[in-house]
């Protein structure tokens, strides 16, 4: 009787919690318990509910919004969008959202593939959103005709023509990125990747295959060593996490069921940079390298892979220039992201052919392209440089047309400047300046603060180095989710903000007045790097670095709380529990 009783009680409790979502969610409680307090995080799933206020008035003809993609950016946009205001269509070949940060866990069965996905239609249904979804792939964006060309991912229609056209008033491009092999020969044919759920499932089967293959009779020791050599190309967070997962799978599960061949297993990470995890704090990189050394995971830094054949990986030392080839059984390529063909084609159309991703302005609208927005990995924001607008800014600030700015005049426009050009604040912070006056002072010398006036040249000089602090946002899930959330917010208040603009003063071009919205600003909430053996490293806001077992528990808490639905949250947590009790499954399915 035990389990059924226990399960049904749990079920009742979950249902209650789903029906009455409290302000303080269980996920937040969980976090407090696990992290020992001190670090604040939030549960993503409660956000959308708060934001979607009922629309006051329904317009006679709703504007058509077409969203391409159901990844982090697209889903975040849709979750936050007030779908009653628009006629929303979503087009994606994947009818689910995947919680991609857990993909490395799927490769070794720590978490099941199905636990990290949530059907898009279910999301809409639960939020009572009237959204049309097409399981299809957009293969051409036609910005002049305001339409996208799509092809069904599930076969053609009866008339043999699977293509169809969807027109839009606003287009949200959230197509994500693809793998980038940097044209290295053999990579496409012989390497595994880690971008999609299917990739992780393939890797899982392949790892078990290697062990089964090495267990067959008539296999020499040399062959076993080759078959059980797992190579990860790219020492970023994904590659490192996969290496750590694989090592855990090996020492916690596989040694028990393949005892005869455990001595032949080797894991190697090939990294072209000086260190693995080089986007993290130096301390984290060192911690990871030391741990991997202790675990027997080889880290080859300063090597670039130049060729992959069916049984050899050839790499070139960046310092010595010499080439070496190593035999391998399985290789995973996680060395960078590239542009999808449909994005490339669109970039050609709008004169962005030379770029690596769609260029948007600070409001996420694609440059030189009306009504098209781009968010997530397929886009990058080009921050306007303050020096390009310095004359206009000076003119606007100089209200009395005196040809000079007083400190008061500068203070009057300072907030608008800081919102429009975030690099100003970043620069002041990097120079440990507390006030704009200090910045001006440093340029014009030791004048008295009270009577300080600057002319245009002095103003230019003061702000001359500010643009060096323009930073591009990384291509992470966190950025994509924030962009989606921000853009939906803009869409929700589009009508209101036309009359009540919220943004900073327009300092570019000829138009006067305020921008409708504040520009998008990325807020870095920290980043994790799980390192295996129940240890993780984390970079937290405010230059905090945390490493070790407690960080792994923090990781568990944050990742549980960040799940997109209660269903996936329960599944992921029960997967972790199952793994603790029963270990990982090694069936080849």
Alpha carbons 314 and 303: distance in angstroms, whole number = 10
**Comparison of 167 and 274: residue with beta carbon closer to a copy of itself:** 167
Which residues are CB-contacts of 161 (< 8 A; sequence separation ≥ 6)? none
Whole-number Å distance between alpha carbons of 451 and 400: 16
Q: Give the footprint of a copy of itself on residues 11-70 (CB under 8 A).
A: 11, 13-15, 26, 29-30, 32-34
Beta carbon nearer to a copy of itself, 487 or 571 = 571
- Fill in the DSSP letter of residue 365: B
Q: Which of 51, 444, 494, 570 binds a copy of itself (CB under 8 A)?
A: 570
Q: Which stretch binds a copy of itself (CB under 8 A): 272-280, 409-417, 427-435, 568-576?
A: 568-576
Minimum distance, C-beta of residue 423 to a copy of itself, in the bound complex (Å): 42
Site string for a copy of itself, 284-313 (x = CB under 8 A): ---------------------------x--
168 in contact with a copy of itself (CB under 8 A): no
Residue 286, exposed/middle/buried by CB under 10 A (0-12, 13-18, 19+)?
A: middle
When binding is defined by CB under 8 A, the residue of 54, 60, 155, 445 that contacts a copy of itself is 155
Quote the CA–CA distance of 13 and 10 in Å, as a whole number: 5
Dist CA 336 CA 347 (whole Å): 20
212 exposure class (CB count in 10 Å sphere: 0-12, 13-18, 19+): middle
209 is a site residue for a copy of itself (CB under 8 A): yes
Q: Contact region for a copy of itself (CB under 8 A) — 253-261, 290-298, 337-345, 448-456?
A: 253-261
Which of positions 106-135 make contact with a copy of itself (CB under 8 A)?
Answer: 112-114, 117-119, 121-122, 124-125, 133-135
Q: How far apart are CA 328 and CA 326, in angstroms?
A: 6
What residues from 455 to 514 belong to the interface with a copy of itself (CB under 8 A)?
none
Report the residue from 169, 252, 412, 585 that binds a copy of itself according to the rule CB under 8 A.
585
What is the Cα–Cα distance from 375 to 78, expressed in whole angstroms?
12
Contact 116, 103 (CB under 8 A): yes
Stretch that binds a copy of itself, among 42-50, 148-156, 354-362, 397-405 (CB under 8 A): 148-156
**Of 59-67, 193-201, 410-418, 491-499, which segment contacts a copy of itself by CB under 8 A?**
193-201
**Intra-chain end-to-end CA distance of the chain, in Å:** 31
Q: What string marks each residue from 220 to 249 as x (binds a copy of itself by CB under 8 A) or -? A: x-xx--x-----------------------
Task: Look up residue 30 and give its two tokens.
Answer: 């969980």
Residue 233 to residue 172: CA distance in whole angstroms: 33
Q: Which of 46, 84, 152, 314 binds a copy of itself (CB under 8 A)?
A: 152
Listed in order, strand segments (DSSP E) in 246-346 are: 266-271, 297-301, 303-308, 312-317, 323-327, 330-333, 337-338
423, 466 in Cβ contact below 8 A? yes
Question: Of the candidates 22, 139, 157, 274, which one interacts with a copy of itself according to CB under 8 A?
Answer: 157
| Nearer CB in complex with a copy of itself: 151/356 | 151
Write out the binding residues for a copy of itself, residues 311-370 only, by CB under 8 A.
311
Q: Applying CB under 8 A, which of residues 191, 197, 372, 537 lies at the interface with a copy of itself? A: 197
């Amino acid at each position: 009787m035990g389990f059924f009783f226990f399960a049904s009680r749990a079920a009742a409790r979950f249902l209650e919690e789903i029906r009455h979502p409290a302000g303080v969610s269980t996920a937040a409680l969980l976090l407090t318990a696990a992290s020992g307090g001190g670090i604040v995080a939030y549960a993503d799933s409660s956000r959308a509910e708060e934001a979607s206020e009922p629309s006051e008035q329904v317009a006679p003809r709703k504007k058509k919004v077409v969203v391409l993609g159901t990844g982090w950016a697209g889903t975040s946009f849709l979750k936050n969008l007030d779908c009653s205001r628009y006629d929303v269509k979503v087009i994606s070949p994947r009818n689910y959202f995947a919680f991609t940060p857990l993909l490395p866990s799927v490769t070794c069965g720590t978490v099941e593939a199905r636990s990290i996905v949530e059907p898009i239609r279910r999301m809409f249904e639960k939020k009572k959103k009237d959204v049309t979804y097409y399981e299809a792939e957009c293969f051409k964006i036609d910005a002049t005709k305001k339409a996208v060309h799509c092809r069904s991912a599930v076969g053609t229609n009866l008339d043999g023509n699977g293509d169809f056209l969807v027109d839009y008033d606003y287009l949200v491009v959230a197509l994500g990125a693809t793998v980038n092999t940097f044209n290295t020969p053999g990579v496409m044919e012989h390497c595994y990747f880690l971008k999609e759920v299917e990739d992780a499932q393939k890797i899982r089967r392949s790892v078990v295959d290697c062990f089964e293959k090495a267990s067959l009779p008539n296999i020499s020791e040399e062959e076993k060593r080759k078959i059980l050599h797992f190579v990860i190309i790219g020492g970023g967070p994904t590659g490192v996490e996969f290496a750590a997962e694989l090592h855990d799978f090996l020492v916690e599960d596989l040694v028990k069921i393949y005892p005869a061949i455990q001595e032949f297993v080797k894991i190697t990470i090939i990294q072209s940079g000086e260190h693995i995890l080089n986007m993290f704090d130096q301390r984290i990189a060192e911690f990871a390298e030391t741990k991997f050394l202790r675990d027997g995971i080889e880290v080859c830094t300063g090597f670039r892979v130049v060729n992959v054949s069916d049984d050899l990986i050839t790499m070139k030392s960046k310092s010595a220039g010499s080439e070496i080839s190593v035999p391998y059984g399985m290789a995973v390529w996680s060395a960078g992201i590239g542009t999808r063909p449909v994005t490339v084609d669109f970039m050609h159309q709008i004169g962005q052919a030379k770029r690596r991703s769609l260029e948007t302005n600070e409001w996420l609208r694609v440059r030189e392209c009306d009504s098209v927005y781009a968010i997530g990995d397929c886009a990058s924001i080009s921050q306007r440089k303050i020096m390009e607008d310095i004359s206009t800014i000076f003119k606007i600030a100089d209200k009395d047309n005196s040809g000079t700015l007083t400190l008061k005049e500068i203070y009057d426009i300072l907030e608008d400047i800081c919102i429009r050009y975030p690099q100003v604040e970043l620069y002041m912070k990097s120079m440990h300046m507390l006030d704009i006056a200090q910045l001006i002072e440093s340029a014009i010398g030791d004048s008295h603060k009270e009577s300080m006036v600057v002319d245009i040249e002095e103003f230019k000089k003061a702000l001359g180095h500010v643009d060096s602090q323009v930073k591009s946002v990384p291509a992470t899930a966190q950025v994509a989710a924030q962009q989606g959330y921000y853009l939906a917010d803009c869409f929700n208040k589009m009508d209101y903000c036309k009359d009540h603009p919220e943004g900073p003063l327009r300092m570019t071009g000829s138009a006067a007045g305020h921008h409708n919205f504040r520009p998008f600003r990325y807020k870095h909430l920290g980043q994790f790097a799980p390192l295996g053996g129940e240890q993780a490293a984390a970079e937290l806001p405010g230059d905090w670095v945390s490493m070790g077992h407690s960080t792994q528990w923090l990781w568990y808490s944050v990742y549980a709380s960040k799940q997109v639905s209660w269903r996936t949250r329960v599944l992921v947590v029960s997967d972790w529990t199952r793994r603790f009790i029963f270990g990982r499954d090694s069936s080849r399915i």
